[in-house]
Structure formats: C-alpha cells, structure tokens
Amino acid sequence: MAAKPKLYYFDGRGRMESVRWLLAAAGVEYEEVLFETAEDFWNLIKSGKLMYDQVPMVEMDGMSIVQTRAILKYIAAKYNLYGKDLKERTIIDMYVEGMRDLNDMIMLFPFSLPEEKQKILNYILERATQRFFPVYEKALKDHGKNYLVGNQLSWADVQLLEVILMVEELKSGVLSVFPKVQEFKARVSKLPNIQKFLQPGSPRKPQEDETTVEVVKKIFKLDEDLFLQHM
C-alpha cells in the first residue's frame, strides 16, 4: 500500500491550502507536518529536502516536491484532474493562473497594515467582481457544461470553488450578479469528496486571523516592514 502524501507547512492556509483542496477533491488522504516554531522549519531546511529552502513541500511517490504550481500540476495530472489533452491542459492553466492572482491577493490580505486594510479590501472585491468573476461567468455560459473545461471535474473547478469561498468570506452576496457562478458553486460543493472537505472537522483550514499571522511571522522570522514592502 502506497504511503499517504505528507504535507509540510504551518497550521494555516497560505499556499498549501490549494494543495489540500486538490487532494481532497481527488479523494486522497494525506498527513501533515505542521511547524510550530522557527526551529521546526530550520530542521527541515537542514534535512536537505527543500530545494529552495522554502515551503510548501509535499512528499509523495518517493519525491520531495516543492514550488506550489509544480505540486498542484503533479497532483492534477496524477489524479485525472488536468484535462484529456494538451489543449484542455492549456485552458485549465489559463484559468488557474488568473485564479492564483486573486488567491494571492486574499492570502496576503491578513498581513496588511491596519490603516491599509479597507483600501486593500475594496481593491480585492473590485478585481474579483470586475475582472475575474465575469471571466468565469462567461466561460460557464459559453461552455454550457457543468464544469469549466471538458465535461468532468478539473483542477480549474476546484481552484475556482476555493477562490469563490475566499471572496465570500470577505463579503457575502458577492455572487448576486453572477448566476452561472452561483450555480457552479452549488453544484460542485455537492460532489461527495468536496462536500466532505467542507464539513466541520475536515483538514480545511480556517480564514487567517491575527493569531495565525503572528505564528507565521515567528516561524519564518519575518521582519514586518520588509514583509509589507515585499507585498
């Protein structure tokens, strides 16, 4: 029996959450090694497993896989969530890359300065409703299928549902003018593996709060001023 994938990260969403989502959608059980201190992270670096001394990292199939997109592409391909041919994979990539842009904005939002939060929130919501969701509304309407690409669940669908729920955490009712996206959300949320992942007590991580932010800063020894400049 093959070993379960092992995920190395802190106890929060960050860039690992999309990996959790994709494994859950594929029905794959996994284990997590969650850092609590800077020493935990440093010990992993000293092990020589981290190619760039960065996480996330996933151990599976005899590999120590780093870089978020590489991890997600491997999982999507392995579990038939990456289209049936090169054309479909390219379309999935285009959708996912756009979603990652929105995902990253939301992921970094809890780390923003208090006096900047409202401005950044307004910007995220404007981009979601004016640039990104219109694309997926049109795609679902034009494609006329239950999913974004082909006629089966793909990485793009899983990523879209994750992003939808993240935006709704920031502002409820944001899908009111996107009926096709609303239907998509309801439909995909009912798929057994995803429905299970959305239940309380699942490995899905809660929205980042101030406590999580402080833990992340401690583990990765982040200087707040430099971190915010980098954002």
Q: pLDDT at residue 114 above 90?
A: no
With bands split at pLDDT 50, 70 and 90, how would you rate the model's confidence at 108?
confident
Would you say 148 and 156 are in contact if contact means Cβ atoms under 8 Å apart? yes
For the stretch 33-59, what's the b/e string if a residue is b when 16 or more beta carbons lie within 10 angstroms of its beta carbon? eebeeeeebeebeeeeebeeeebbbbb
Q: How far apart are CA 198 and CA 206, in angstroms?
A: 11
Query: What's the sign of the alpha-carbon dihedral 155, 156, 158, 163?
Result: positive
For the stretch 191-222, what's the b/e string if a residue is b when 16 or more beta carbons lie within 10 angstroms of its beta carbon? eeebeebeeeeeebbeebeeebbebbeebeee
pTM of the shown model:
0.92
3-state secondary structure of 10: strand
- In the chain, what are the domains? 6-79+199-229 (3.40.30.10), 86-192 (1.20.1050.10)
With bands split at pLDDT 50, 70 and 90, how would you rate the model's confidence at 131?
very high
For residue 8, what pLDDT is reported? 96
Q: What's the whole-number average pLDDT of the chain?
A: 91
Q: pLDDT at residue 63 above 50?
A: yes
Q: pLDDT at residue 222 above 80?
A: no
Distances (CA, A) of 13 to 134, 151, 224: 26, 29, 19
For residue 229, what pLDDT is reported? 43
| pLDDT tens digits for range 172-209 | 999 999 999 999 999 999 999 999 999 999 999 998 88
For residue 99, what pLDDT is reported? 93
CA–centroid distance for 21 within its chain: 7
With bands split at pLDDT 50, 70 and 90, how would you rate the model's confidence at 217?
confident
For residue 161, what pLDDT is reported? 98
With bands split at pLDDT 50, 70 and 90, how would you rate the model's confidence at 227?
very low
Q: How far apart are CA 172 and CA 187, in angstroms?
A: 18
Q: How far apart are CA 40 and CA 17, in angstroms?
A: 20
Bridge partners of 6, per DSSP, are 31, 59
For residue 213, what pLDDT is reported? 83
Bridge partners of 33, per DSSP, are 8
